[in-house]
Structure 1
């Protein structure tokens, strides 16, 4: 058969500049809006340190809740993130996870300064915990501190 001149890396989309626009749109849709290195991996809303991972969307990073691995079947679709062997964070979207799969959750659903996405009671508890942690960063005791003047 003849040669194929127009080969796209994705069979369902044309290979043109719209791929970059689509990737940026999907990155925003998935919450891959973390500050890029070398900026610290802190949430821009609550200032809590997070785990930052590169995503499959070139130039886009995601903040994931640190030290929290959750059975993937307990997390609603589109909130399940897995870390590939290369260290890239991948959103499972609507794919049904295999039994025993664990995933990470994006910080934005547990951020105490963003509008709540109450998917599960334990995320509400985690948001409360993060709120207390965040307050400790800003609420210093008034009494017992020496006067600056």
Structure 2
């Protein structure tokens, strides 16, 4: 009759799409730049194990995994893809990446630790220095 025991969802199933959205794997795909659609800051973009879903991770930031809220712990696997550790308890000494949405200055903050709040504030300052130029100040080229 055929084997019907294997009912695991395929990589493009509705379950995988929902899980990718739940984990925040909604980054713009290449060839679009890896910029946050909310604050315009450049991020590190990684392909996830969900078919054609990408995630933006905070650049140059790896932290002790036990200091990051569950569901926001990302690791880079040997094949170069990002994988969310979801709610698994990290081993002592495990380091992970954090999603930019956790520290984006334009998204509603959650109740997180002090260092996440400080990184969110620093991203707000960075965004202001890069994009909020004075309208009536001196011109960039004074003669």
Describe how 1:1-149 pairs up with structure 2 within 5 A. Answer: 5-6=3-4, 8=6, 14-15=7-8, 20-141=13-134, 142-145=136-139
Residues 9 and 16 in structure 2, CA contact (< 8 A), matched pair in contact too = no
Cα offsets for 1:27-59 (capped at 9, x unmatched): 010000000011100000000000000111111
**What CA distance in whole angstroms lies between the structure 1 residues aligned with 2:80 and 2:3?**
34
Q: CA deviation at 1:145?
A: 1.7
Alpha-carbon distance between aligned partners in 2 of 1:139 and 1:38, rounded to the nearest angstrom: 26
Gaps of 5+ in 1: 9-13
Any conservation in 1 of the 2:27–2:53 contact (CA below 8 Å)?
yes
- The whole-number CA distance in structure 2 between the counterparts of 1:120 and 1:5 is 49
The structure with the largest alpha-carbon Rg is: 1
TM-score (norm 1): 0.86
What is the TM-score of this pair, normalised by structure 2? 0.89
Aligned length: 139
Cross-structure match for 1:11:
none
Cα pair distance change 1:16/1:117, threshold 3 Å: closer
Question: Aligned-pair RMSD on alpha carbons?
Answer: 2.0
Find the aligned partners of 2:86 and 2:18 in 1 and give their Cα distance: 15
Evaluate the alpha carbon distance shift between residue 63 and residue 145 of structure 1 in structure 2; reply closer, same or farther with a 3 A threshold.
same
Matched residue SS, 2:80: coil
Gaps of 5+ in 2: none
